[in-house]
Amino acid sequence: MAGQRNQGAVAFTSMPTRQTQPKAIALISGGLDSLLAAKVVKEQGVHVEGINYFTGFCVEGHTHAIRNRDRTRHKRNNALWSAEQLGIQLHIVDVIDAYKDVVINPKHGYGANLNPCLDCKSFMVTRAREWIEDNGFDFIVTGEVIGQRPMSQRRETLPVIANESGAEDRLLRPLCAQLLAPTLPERMGWVDREQLYAFNGRSRKPQMALAEQFGIKEYAQPAGGCCFLTDATYATKLRDLWASRGEKRYELDDIMLLKVGRHLRPRPHLKVIVARDAGETQYLRGYRKAYAHLLMTSHNGPMTLLEGEVHDGDAELAARIAARFGQGRAASDVQFDFVTAAGVARSLAVAPFKPEDIAPEWYV
């Protein structure tokens, strides 16, 4: 990392003196700010392409695609939609593995939940800096606004991102650039500082007015943040996963499953994931080769996965929980096929739990 940073700094000190159209990569999250930032720069004649990093925690359509009640919603990837509004290429990059270290060991700590926003921004700008160096682009554009977010978008933290990423003054924040020292693209005349902005604070009004000015009528309104790590319920589930493993560790399947179903932990070593509707049942079915699971055979009922270790009696316990959420909840017994993670199947019949049998603390 340090080596990469130095490389970036060296490349930056040799000022490009190009006559051709300057080129920028814009970090596109799918929200309004990044859309506007890219638009502002593109309007000044810069060749702009977009880049979007998929960390595994992005809110993008996941649960919408799974749950029944969400299936009627218009599904689209907001970053792609932003790129289409802008008329630019969008490179979507899978950073799932590299991002783990950001979530697990954030140098600057977490925000209100498990969101390591400052480390996350540094990580993404570092990636973008590497991308522009590899692809002969001149600078990076982000939609950051001073004071917009309590952790990563404070006046003191913006230089941290520029510095740690090695982007230094090749990082332009068009929406608040007038409040910051002039960057390379401004000094080189690739963009006109006078046509950049001085947005500051949490108000969304300046962005909405600028959107209006550009004729952008429809845009995503991210609630709270751009990823699940800002979500308190999700963060609780991720903490529980780490606690159960005795270490901070996750795979993509883990973090996807945290978005789906009811999660109950009736034993320290065992978590039961019960689908909440047919859409989730369909989705969880896709995991049946990797997880021990229960298929209700006597009634209609949810697909249920067992995560962790399955000790004697655990399949029956999980089945009693699952039966509570199926159509046989009032029956005297409900039958299941229980299949181990290794694919060994057996039948079992249990009496469904009554609501009061399920301890509130089991719910993660």
Residue numbers at the binding site for ligand SF4 (CB under 6 A):
115-117, 120-121, 152, 225-227, 229-230
Indicate the residue among 121 and 293 with the shorter CB distance to ligand SF4: 121
Q: Which residues pair with 171 in a beta bridge?
A: 140
Q: Is residue 274 part of the contact set for other proteins (CB under 8 A)?
A: no
Chain centre to alpha carbon of residue 74: 19
Tell which positions 75-104 bind other proteins, by CB under 8 A.
75-77, 79-81, 83-84, 88-94
229 binds, among other proteins, ligand SF4, none (CB under 5 to 8 A by kind): ligand SF4
Element (H, E) at 320: helix 314-324
Handedness of CA 137, 138, 143, 147 (dihedral sign): positive
Indicate the residue among 253 and 316 with the shorter CB distance to other proteins: 253
Tally of CB atoms within 10 A around 16 = 15
- Work out how close the CB of 17 gets to other proteins at its nearest, in angstroms, rounded to a whole number: 16
**Distance of alpha carbon 333 from alpha carbon 41, whole angstroms:** 65
Tally of CB atoms within 10 A around 244 = 18
Q: Is residue 231 part of the contact set for other proteins (CB under 8 A)?
A: no
How is residue 178 written in tokens?
């007038």
Confirm if 325 and 302 have CB atoms less than 8 A apart: yes
Select from 6, 68, 135, 300 the one that contacts other proteins (CB under 8 A). Answer: 135
Select from 12, 38, 46, 52 the one that contacts other proteins (CB under 8 A). Answer: 52
Exposure string (b/e) for 169-182, b if CB count within 10 Å is 16 or more? bbbbbbbbbbbbee
- Work out how close the CB of 37 gets to other proteins at its nearest, in angstroms, rounded to a whole number: 18
Distance (Å) of CA 163 to CA 122, 158, 206, 258? 9, 9, 28, 34
135 binds, among ligand SF4, other proteins, none (CB under 5 to 8 A by kind): other proteins
Indicate the residue among 228 and 353 with the shorter CB distance to ligand SF4: 228
Distance (Å) of CA 300 to CA 104, 274, 295? 40, 13, 10
54 binds, among other proteins, ligand SF4, none (CB under 5 to 8 A by kind): other proteins
117 binds, among ligand SF4, other proteins, none (CB under 5 to 8 A by kind): ligand SF4
Select from 13, 17, 20, 332 the one that contacts other proteins (CB under 8 A). Answer: 20
Which amino acid makes up residue 194? E
227 binds, among ligand SF4, other proteins, none (CB under 5 to 8 A by kind): ligand SF4
